[in-house]
Structure 1
Amino acid sequence: MSRRNRNRAKTPHQPTGKIEAPTSAGLNVRAQYDAAGHGRRMRGWRTPSSGPNLATAGLETIRNRTRDVVRNDWAATAGTRSWVTNLIGSGIVPRPKTGNAGLKVRLINLWDEWSRVADADGVLDFYGLQTLATRSWITSGEVFIRMRPRRLEDGLPVPLQIQLLEADMVPDFDADVRHGLPQGNRIRCGIELDRIGRRVAYWCYRNHPGDRGSMVNSAELVRVPAAEMRHMFEPQRPGQLRGVSDLAPVLTKLRGVMDFDDAVLERQRLANLFTLFITRPTPEGPNPLEAIMGYDAGLGSESSVIMEPGLVQELAPGEDVKFSAPPDSGANYSEFVRSQHIGVSAGQGLPYELLTGDLKDVSDRTLRIILNEFRRYCGQRQWQVIIPMLCQPVRDEWATFAAMAGAILPSEISDARRVTWAPEAWQYIHPVQDVQAKRIEVEAGFRARSQVIAAMGEDPDEVDELRRQDAARGMRNAAASGGR
């Protein structure tokens, strides 16, 4: 091929079969997400690229404001109460998974005896500690659980107790060098990390920094090994070390709605004050001011009218009465407050109906959809936060100390730790329909009967034993009545 023909083959109008990248002149440089733009609408949107721990700066302020709003605002109080009630109920109970019936009974009895004295403060049982820990987590964003070994002579069924520590007990500070800090370790947000980022210790105050008469000295922090402490929180970003309250996204709205509602309430209180005004004609004369003063002096105490039932009041010639007409709460007040509380409930992850008790225009089918979605969220938080961060670590330590005290054999520690945690069962929405549906599932082989019982928070073996006892009691009663 001649040089002229080769050049012609490379012209843009003659494809060579070779794929070439488009030039910048052929690209649409304006093709991007609107959210990535910097135009007029996005100009005031500040988006700091903070890391997961720098983003939690100001945790103490958030905690203080959250606790204040929970103390003083009904919506925050109701939201916290609803979360704790639905997550814990009467308690999340461990069910041993061992096949040894005798060992299972011993483990259940030992746990029941210990759970009554599990609180290091001597106030609650273990299930009460679950409630308190969950309330602290929802309100403050986190709670610390410290394992407190006890002496054998203390007389406990298992020489171990649990102490709950508020988030304030672990100050949010960073340090690379500190007395007592092992070389190579570092402190981030009050948590000591080793070279590969594992939690190895927590630095705690000896006393609560906000308590009455507390003398706080940051130089006297206590280093508590991570093996003796557990941290219950719900991380929102990978690498996050401390927890943030559930109410943080709606704190501003809660405060605004509370202030607005108080202002309307005060306005209505003032509006209920029955007020009237007496108007008089302007006196005529060479000196109107002297005439007015003389007119008032002549009336004396009769210038004010005291309202009484059945009062007949005679007014002076030219006087008229006008009543005050203060503004009411507004025709849109209830709808406005309702819409604000819908946003507050969504921010807390709660159905509006559970937060407020307002079931207006809610059908049974709609309520079932709402509750089913909420229950899935509750299950997620139970099995991903409460059970692995609170319940199972306590159970593991309990089994170890039970063996140390001779309550169980060392070979039984593994069986003592292997449990199925059973949250309190949800109440039926439609009892007859729900029970029939479960029965059909069992008869069709979709679920085992023991699964249905376990989902109700009960122990299948215990249910079967109670049924056998009931059957035997029924036969004895029948035989006794037949003999008579």
Structure 2
Amino acid sequence: MNVIDRTIGVISPNAALKRQVARQKLSIMNSGYSHHGASRTKKSLLGWMFGGGSPKEDIEDNIQVLRERSRDLYMGTPIATSAIKTLRTNVVGGGLRLKSQIDYEFLGLSDEEAEKLETTIEREFSLWADSVNCDLARLNNFYELQQLIFLSSLMCGDAFALLPYTQRIGMPYDLRIQLIEADRVCDPYYKKGYNNISAGIECNDNGEITAYHIANFHPLSTYRSNSTWTRVEAFGEKTGRRNVIHIMESERIGQRRGVPILAPVIEALKQLGRYTEAELMAAVISGMFTVFIESKSNSEEAPLGSMIPEDEEVDGGDENSYELGNGAIVALGEGETAKETNPGRPNTAFDGFIASVCKQIGAALEIPHDLLLKQFNASYSASRAALLEAWKMFRMRRIWLSNDFCQPIYEEWLSEAVAKSRIYAPGFFDSPIIKKAYCNAEWSGPSQGQLDPVKEANAAVIRVENCFSTRAKETIELTGGDFVKNNRQRIKEEKMRQELLALNKKEVQL
């Protein structure tokens, strides 16, 4: 306090206090975001309880609760189930299919040689991928494993796959895929407190992931024979081989574990599920017609026609409980009166409210609400715009799945095929760039579909004729097919058709 303030304080303490308060207010008035989102004085923001931490505090310390709640929503809330299955169906569908794209110019191969080699690779890959022998558990083929690991990563935030080798009768390839649910990658009991292990993932001082700690049991299972962990190195120490495939969408730098896709909308989905159940129960109660009879006698005989079958009674043993039923007649004791209640169901505002909430949920999940609810009541332009926006996200996730799951497994399989001389690829193991030239591939999934097939087909023709696209690409986009195979089949069909026309013409002349 300066001399002037002290003098004023002696003469007028109230005035001195006001000067001090004003000075304090001036000290906290900054610029920029302090007037807006970072303000600590606005009444609209004073009640905002906020806080933040590193990816470990914000994500890894909360991941188990998020996983369990997300799985519970998937199993019991229709909108949550719709969101996850819509993603699964459009991104993976029946599985992403291999289309070998050898860099034949770099390898010095002709078009015919490259096409022959690509056909051989695809045929050999189908031998392995179409069989359940590619799965260590022998339950699913490669394409079914794609949808399973994608579905699991959406619900749990991430998922893992190991690539062991196991010999099996009748299968020339020994590579197997072992899927690991996210819960099993966790901190070992004997490693707790180690700074280099978090959420089951071990890193070195540079932040590089070096190993995964996988429990030999499911942490949520009530039946476990032992409680041991296996440490699996991320990459082979001598070969550099990828031992663990980790499917995860990152949202923070330094993040080690993924977040379930439903995490931002868990509360909204749960409340929406409760509201739906309450409305359904109210509608059921409103549809029941029950007659209550007040009796002034102490007769223990049931009134005429009263009958709720014992096997349908929920709490028949409770004397204080009266159950409603379809056309039931319930006797009341002396002095007891039943008043009519009308729940007013079905609620006319129910559908509009559900649609409004689903718009927000769909926006958070990047799924248009009409696609989320499977209701296409808008115009052609609006519906097409919604589908195009959704397919930006579907394609992005498809690229991630192909890059993080399909391509690494394909490269591992192709290495085994070349090593066993089932595929002839000179120089495959001599140089990484030669290996990459052989491993180039595209992964195609289900097509986008068309709201108006005629308009979509005409647009494809225009793009091809103006060299904006190719016939091969448009075939994949429109039908998910293969232009080369389609063209070869069309040639056969046209030849057969011409032969049939010639034969009919000859018969007419005779």
Q: Same fold (TM over 0.5)?
A: yes
Aligned CA distance change for structure 1 residues 207 and 431 (closer, same or farther; 3 Å): same
Partner Cα separation in structure 2 for residue 202 and residue 302 of structure 1? 71
The match for 1:116 is 130
| Residues 36 and 174 of structure 1, relative CA distance in 2, 3 Å threshold | farther
Q: Where does residue 315 of structure 1 map in the other structure? A: none
Q: State the alpha-carbon separation in 2 of the partners of residues 157 and 109 from structure 1.
A: 13
Instruction: Give 1:252 shift.
Output: 1.2
Q: Displacement of 1:38 after TM fit?
A: 1.2
**Alignment map for 1:184-195 (pairs within 5 Å):** 186-195=196-205
More displaced stretch, 209-218 vs 394-403: 209-218
1:283-322 equivalences under 5 Å are 296-297=296-297
User: What CA distance in whole angstroms lies between the structure 2 residues aligned with 1:86 and 1:36?
Assistant: 40
Of 491, 495, 499, which residue of structure 2 is paired with 1:472? 495
Alignment of 1:350-369 (within 5 A): 350-360=367-377, 362-369=378-385
Return the match for 1:221 from 212, 230, 235: 230
Which residue number in structure 2 is paired with residue 382 of structure 1?
Answer: 398
Quick one: structure 1 residues 103 and 253, their matched pair in 2 at CA, closer, same or farther if it must change by over 3 Å?
A: same
Taking the aligned partners of 1:453 and 1:278, their CA distance within structure 2 comes to 72
The amino acid of 1:242's aligned partner reads R
Counterpart-to-counterpart distance in 2, 1:451 and 1:231: 30
Contact 1:205 1:216 survives alignment (8 Å): no
CA distance in 2, matches of 1:481, 1:464: 26
Which of 259, 263, 268 is equivalent to 1:244?
259
1:252 maps to amino acid: E
Report if the CA contact (8 A) 2:232-2:243 is conserved. Answer: no
- Return closer, same or farther for 1:107/1:130 CA change in 2, 3 Å cut-off: same
Percentage of pairs with the same residue:
23
**TM-aligned CA deviation for residue 430 of structure 1:** 0.9
SS at match of 2:393: helix
Once the two structures are superposed, the pairs formed by residues 27-176 of structure 1 within 5 Å of their partners are: 29=30, 31=32, 32-39=34-41, 40-56=43-59, 57-98=61-102, 99=111, 100-117=114-131, 118-151=134-167, 154-172=169-187
The 5 A counterparts of 1:440-479 are 440-456=462-478, 457-479=480-502
- Matched residues in 2 for 1:176 and 1:276: separation? 66
Q: How far did 1:405 drift?
A: 2.1
5+ residue gaps, structure 1, are 1-24, 280-294, 309-320
Give the total of aligned pairs: 423
Structure 1 residue matching 2:219: 3-state secondary structure: coil
- Corresponding position of 1:439: 461
1:425 maps to 2:447: yes
2:310 alignment counterpart: none
Larger Rg: 1
Separation (CA, whole Å) in 1 of partners of 2:338 and 2:204: 79
- 1:324 offset after TM fit, Å? 0.8
- Identify the match of residue 350 of structure 2 among 333, 338, 357: 333
Match of 2:286 in 1: 271
- Which residue of structure 1 lines up, in the alignment, with residue 363 of structure 2? 346
Aligned pair in 2 of structure 1 residues 109, 350: CA closer, same or farther (>3 Å)? same
Task: Give, in whole Å, the separation in 1 of the partners of 2:255 and 2:463.
Answer: 42
> What residue identity is the alignment partner of 1:52?
P
Q: Deviation at 1:194?
A: 2.7
Q: Is the 8 A contact 1:150 1:161 kept in 2?
A: yes
In structure 2, stretches of 5+ residues that fail to align are 1-25, 103-110, 236-241, 308-336, 429-434
Of 407-416 and 38-47, more deviation after overlay is shown by 407-416
Structure 1 residues 363 and 45 mapped into 2: Cα distance closer, same or farther (>3 Å)? same
Q: Is the 8 A contact 2:355 2:369 kept in 1?
A: no
Q: Contact conserved, 2:475 with 2:481, CA < 8 A, in 1?
A: yes
* Stretch of structure 1 that moved more, 345-354 or 62-71: 345-354
> How does the TM-score come out when normalised to structure 2?
0.75
User: Does the CA-based 8 Å contact 2:188-2:213 persist in structure 1?
Assistant: no
Query: Are the counterparts in 1 of residues 186 and 199 from structure 2 also a CA contact under 8 Å?
Result: yes
**Deviation per CA, 1:283-317, whole angstroms, max 9, x where unpaired?**
xxxxxxxxxxxx934x9689978699xxxxxxxxx
- Please state whether the residue corresponding to 2:361 is helix, strand or coil: helix
Residue by residue over 1:125-158, the C-alpha shift from the partner in whole angstroms, topping out at 9 and shown as x without a partner, is: 111111111111111111101112123x643242
Cα distance change on mapping 1:170 and 1:277 into 2, 3 Å = closer
Offset at 1:103?
Answer: 0.7
CA contact (8 A) 2:411 2:439 kept: yes
Counterpart residue identity of residue 56, structure 2 = N
Query: For the residues of structure 2 that align with 1:275 and 1:155, how far apart are their CA atoms?
Result: 67
Rounded to whole Å, the distance in 1 between the matches of 2:187 and 2:446 is 35
For residues 303 and 121 of structure 1, the distance between their equivalents in structure 2, rounded to whole angstroms, comes to 60
- 2:159–2:248: 8 Å Cα contact kept in structure 1? yes
For residues 299-339 of structure 1, the C-alpha deviation after alignment (integer angstroms, 9 at most, x for no partner) is 9689978699xxxxxxxxxxxx9961323144433322332
Structure 1 residue corresponding to 2:206, chosen from 196, 199, 204: 196
Q: Which amino acid aligns with 1:465?
A: R
Distance across 2 between alignment mates of 1:177 and 1:210? 18
Check the 8 A contact 1:144/1:231 in 2, yes or no.
yes
Name the SS for the 2:176 alignment partner: strand
SS at the partner of 1:204? strand
Deviation at 1:478, TM superposition (A): 3.4
Q: Is the 8 A contact 1:176 1:186 kept in 2?
A: no
- Counterparts of 2:390 and 2:280, CA distance in 1: 33
Distance 2:344 2:192 in 1: 63
Contact 1:276 1:324 in 2 (8 A): no
| Helix, strand or coil at the partner of 1:434 | helix
Match of 1:7 in 2: none
* Distance of 1:407 and 1:122 partners within structure 2: 23
Contact kept? 2:161, 2:246, Cα under 8 Å: yes
Give the aligned residue type for 1:217: S
* Equivalent position SS for 2:37: helix
Report the Cα distance in structure 2 between the residues aligned to 1:55 and 1:323, rounded to whole angstroms.
52
